[in-house]
Amino acid sequence: MSIQPEDRTTIDMFSVSRPGRPRSNPYDRSQQLRINKRVQRQRDKARGLQRLEVKLDGEVIGRLDDMCQELKLSRAEVLELALKHWLHL
CATH of the domain at 36: 1.10.1220.10
Q: Is residue 41 part of a domain?
A: yes
Q: Is residue 39 part of a domain?
A: yes
For the segment 61-75, what is each residue's pLDDT rounded down to a tens digit? Answer: 999 999 999 999 999
Q: Is residue 2 part of a domain?
A: no
- CA–CA distance, 65 with 75 (Å, rounded to integer): 7
Long-range own/partner contacts, residues 49-55 (CB < 8 A, 24 or more apart): none
Parent domain of 50: 29-86
- CA–CA distance, 80 with 87 (Å, rounded to integer): 10
Q: Give the DSSP letter string of the chain.
A: -PPPTT-SSSTTTSPPP-SSSPPSSSS-HHHHHHHHHHHHHHHHHHTT---------HHHHHHHHHHHHHHT--HHHHHHHHHHHHTT-
In this prediction the pTM is 0.57
Q: Is residue 71 part of a domain?
A: yes
State the pLDDT at residue 80.
93
- CA–CA distance, 3 with 26 (Å, rounded to integer): 13
For the segment 2-47, what is each residue's pLDDT rounded down to a tens digit? Answer: 555 565 555 566 666 777 777 777 788 899 999 999 999 999 999 9
